[in-house]
């Protein structure tokens, strides 16, 4: 306990899923939290987004851990609104030490309009960059920036979107660009001791994965695939015998990178992938 005692962390996509898990885990280790989420649906996704009630539940869990929390409903695509939200959180909590750029969408599946590509790039790539850049003025030397990528961004495939459609292609593209962004920014900030790293999860037990659109993509051979049908496809993706990982598994990596244990770790692309890339030979 106490691995990030006294630090203040900003997390996007904090209302549920991985974002909530990161918020709670870091609070348990002593951090105060600025929890940000759009808390409204984005039309192109075929699954419901988090709600204001979800964000309040994250806040309740952070308080239960004995830490302070500031919440704001904000769209990461809007840098000015994001800047205001970060500014307000820092004004209330007094400082900012860690950034976790986590918010993402995945409007997966064939036959989707080009908005599936553009909206995904706007949220997953530009939203992550907006988050980091809105936070930078508040960070002191020695801060930690953590970008949540995906193993999809470490796979070299390009071109035809195939069954994943334009949204799946955009997801892979956005996460791939973030790999270079992390490495480049890490070099820029290294002289002041500020670290920039990425965590790349595989399939994770969240609403972004466990929905009908994803089931259909992973099991196109089944007319109306269920979660159980898709589980076979998810499991085949991994070298280890699991269909997905839990959000808490990613939060362990985030906590390490947020703590002083990793004070000389920067530019890292940390995989939490159950052996996907080994299996694919990437």
Q: In angstroms, rounded to a whole number, what is the distance separating the alpha carbons of residues 66 and 135?
A: 24
Q: What are phi and psi of 3, to 5 degrees?
A: -70, -25
Measured in whole angstroms, the distance separating CA 232 from the mean position of its chain's CA atoms is: 25
Q: In angstroms, rounded to a whole number, what is the distance separating the alpha carbons of residues 264 and 42?
A: 38
Give whole-number Cα distances, 281 to 55, 192, 237, in Å: 39, 36, 12
Q: In angstroms, rounded to a whole number, what is the distance separating the alpha carbons of residues 115 and 245?
A: 29
Q: In angstroms, rounded to a whole number, what is the distance separating the alpha carbons of residues 208 and 38?
A: 15
* Element holding 99 (H helix, E strand): strand 98-101
Q: Is 256 a catalytic site residue?
A: no
Query: Taking Cα atoms as reference points, which of 196, 216, 203 lies closest to residue 258?
Result: 196
Query: Taking Cα atoms as reference points, which of 32, 33, 103 lies closest to residue 74?
Result: 103
Active-site residue among 47, 171, 181, 237? 171
Active site residues: 171
């Amino acid at each position: 306990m106490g691995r990030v005692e006294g630090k203040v962390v900003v997390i996007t996509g904090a209302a549920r899923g991985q974002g909530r898990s990161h918020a709670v885990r870091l609070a348990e280790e002593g951090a105060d939290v600025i929890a940000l989420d759009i808390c409204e649906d984005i039309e192109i996704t075929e699954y419901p987004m988090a709600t204001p009630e979800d964000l309040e539940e994250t806040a309740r869990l952070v308080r239960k851990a004995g830490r302070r929390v500031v919440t704001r409903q904000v769209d990461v695509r809007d840098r000015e609104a994001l800047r205001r939200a970060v500014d307000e959180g820092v004004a209330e909590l007094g400082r900012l030490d860690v950034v976790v750029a986590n918010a993402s969408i995945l409007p997966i599946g064939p036959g989707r309009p080009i908005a599936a590509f553009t909206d995904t790039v706007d949220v997953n790539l530009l939203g992550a960059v907006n988050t980091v850049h809105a936070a930078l003025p508040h960070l002191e030397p020695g801060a930690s920036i953590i970008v949540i990528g995906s193993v999809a961004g470490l796979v070299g495939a390009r071109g035809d979107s195939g069954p994943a459609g334009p949204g799946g292609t955009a997801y892979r593209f956005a996460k791939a660009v973030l790999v270079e962004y992390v490495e480049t920014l890490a070099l820029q900030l290294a002289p002041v001791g500020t670290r920039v790293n990425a965590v790349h999860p595989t399939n994770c037990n969240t609403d972004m994965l466990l929905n009908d659109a994803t089931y259909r993509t992973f099991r196109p051979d089944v007319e109306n695939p269920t979660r159980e049908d898709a589980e076979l496809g998810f499991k085949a993706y991994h070298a280890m015998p699991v269909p997905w990982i839990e959000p808490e598994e990613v939060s362990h990596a985030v906590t390490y990178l947020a703590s002083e244990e990793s004070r000389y770790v920067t530019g890292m692309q940390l995989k939490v992938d159950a052996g996907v890339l080994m299996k694919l030979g990437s």
